[in-house]
Amino acid sequence: MDYRIERDSMGEIRVPAEKYWGAQTERSIENFRIGVGIETMPQEIICAFGYLKKAAAEANYELKKEKMTEQKLFAISKACDEVISGKLLDHFPLVVWQTGSGTQSNMNANEVIANRANEIAGTKLCHPNDDVNMSQSSNDTFPTAMSISAVTALVTKLLPAAEGLIAAFRELEAAYPDVVKSGRTHLQDAVPIRFAQEISGWRSSLERDTELIRLAIPPLSELALGGTAVGTGLNAPEGFAELAAEKVSALTGIPFSSAPNKYHALTSKDELVFAHGAVKALAVDMMKIANDVRWLASGPRCGLGEITIPANEPGSSIMPGKVNPTQCEQVTMVAVQVIGNDTAIGMAASQGNFELNVFMPVMAYNFLQSVRLLAESIESFRINCAVGIRADEERMRHNLYNSLMLVTALNPYIGYEKAAKTAHLAFEENLSLKEACVRLGFLTADRFDEVFHPEKMA
- pLDDT digit string, tens, across residues 392-405: 999 999 999 999 99
pLDDT, residue 352, reads 87
Q: What is the mean pLDDT of the chain?
A: 97
pLDDT, residue 349, reads 98
256 belongs to a structural domain: no
CATH number (domain holding residue 87): 1.10.275.10
Examine the domain organization and report whether 452 and 347 are in the same domain: no
- pLDDT digit string, tens, across residues 63-73: 999 999 999 99
Examine the domain organization and report whether 414 and 294 are in the same domain: no
Examine the domain organization and report whether 164 and 107 are in the same domain: no
The Cα 71–Cα 117 span in angstroms is: 10
Nearest CA-CA partner of 386 in 199, 204, 213: 199
Q: Which of 26-35, 200-209, 309-318, 422-431 has the lowest mean pLDDT?
A: 309-318
Examine the domain organization and report whether 130 and 272 are in the same domain: no
Examine the domain organization and report whether 290 and 427 are in the same domain: no
pLDDT, residue 38, reads 95
243 belongs to a structural domain: no
24 belongs to a structural domain: yes
- pLDDT digit string, tens, across residues 122-132: 999 999 999 99
Examine the domain organization and report whether 294 and 373 are in the same domain: yes
Q: Which of 392, 426, 445 finishes a domain?
A: 392
Give the number of C-alpha atoms closer than 13 A to the C-alpha of residue 167, restricted to the C-beta side: 9
Examine the domain organization and report whether 288 and 366 are in the same domain: yes
Cβ 76 vs Cβ 53: under 8 Å: yes
CA quadruple 83, 355, 33, 362: dihedral, nearest 10: -70
248 belongs to a structural domain: no
Domain hosting 330: range is 146-183+192-217+266-392
Q: Could you say which of 85, 204, 316, 350 is catalytic?
A: 316
Q: Could you say which of 9, 77, 101, 186 is catalytic?
A: 186
222 belongs to a structural domain: no
pLDDT of 235 > 90? The answer is yes
pLDDT, residue 211, reads 98
The Cα 229–Cα 356 span in angstroms is: 9
> Which 8-state DSSP code applies to residue 41?
P
For this structure, is 276 an active site residue? no
For this structure, is 453 an active site residue? no
Cα angle vertex 274, ends 271, 278, to 5°?
A: 135
Confidence of residue 426 (pLDDT cuts 50, 70, 90): very high
> Which 8-state DSSP code applies to residue 126?
-
The Cα 191–Cα 68 span in angstroms is: 72
Mean pLDDT, range 168-172, rounded to an integer? 98
Examine the domain organization and report whether 290 and 439 are in the same domain: no
pLDDT of 52 > 90? The answer is yes
Per-residue burial over 297-321, b = 16 or more CB atoms within 10 Å of its CB, e = otherwise = beeeeeebbbbbbbeeeeeeeeeee
140 belongs to a structural domain: no
CATH number (domain holding residue 427): 1.10.40.30
pTM: 0.96
Q: Judging by DSSP bridges, how do beta strands 356-357 and 352-353 pair with one another?
A: antiparallel
324 bridge partner residues: none
Cβ 371 vs Cβ 157: under 8 Å: yes
Confidence of residue 140 (pLDDT cuts 50, 70, 90): very high
What values do phi and psi take at 222, rounded to 5?
-80, 125
Cβ 147 vs Cβ 220: under 8 Å: yes
6 belongs to a structural domain: no
| Helix or strand run (H / E) with residue 194 | strand 188-194
Q: Which of 336, 362, 392 finishes a domain?
A: 392
Reply yes or no: is the peptide bond before residue 255 cis, omega within 30 of 0. no
pLDDT, residue 1, reads 83
Confidence of residue 74 (pLDDT cuts 50, 70, 90): very high
Mean pLDDT, range 139-161, rounded to an integer? 98
Q: Which of 392, 426, 442 finishes a domain?
A: 392
- pLDDT digit string, tens, across residues 333-372: 999 999 999 999 999 999 989 999 999 999 999 999 999 9
pLDDT, residue 156, reads 98
Nearest CA-CA partner of 225 in 257, 267, 272: 257
Examine the domain organization and report whether 413 and 353 are in the same domain: no
Write the CB contacts of 290 (distance below 8 Å, at least 6 apart in sequence).
327, 328, 329, 331, 332, 335, 381
Examine the domain organization and report whether 353 and 213 are in the same domain: yes
CATH number (domain holding residue 158): 1.20.200.10
Nearest CA-CA partner of 110 in 123, 355, 96, 88: 88
Examine the domain organization and report whether 49 and 88 are in the same domain: yes
CA quadruple 136, 270, 103, 97: dihedral, nearest 10: -160
The Cα 126–Cα 115 span in angstroms is: 8
Between the alpha carbon of residue 76 and those of residues 98, 239, 365, 432, 440, the distances in Å are: 26, 21, 27, 80, 88
261 belongs to a structural domain: no
Examine the domain organization and report whether 35 and 129 are in the same domain: yes
Number of domain units in the chain: 3
| Helix or strand run (H / E) with residue 247 | helix 240-252
What values do phi and psi take at 390, rounded to 5?
-130, 140
| SS3 call for 381 | helix
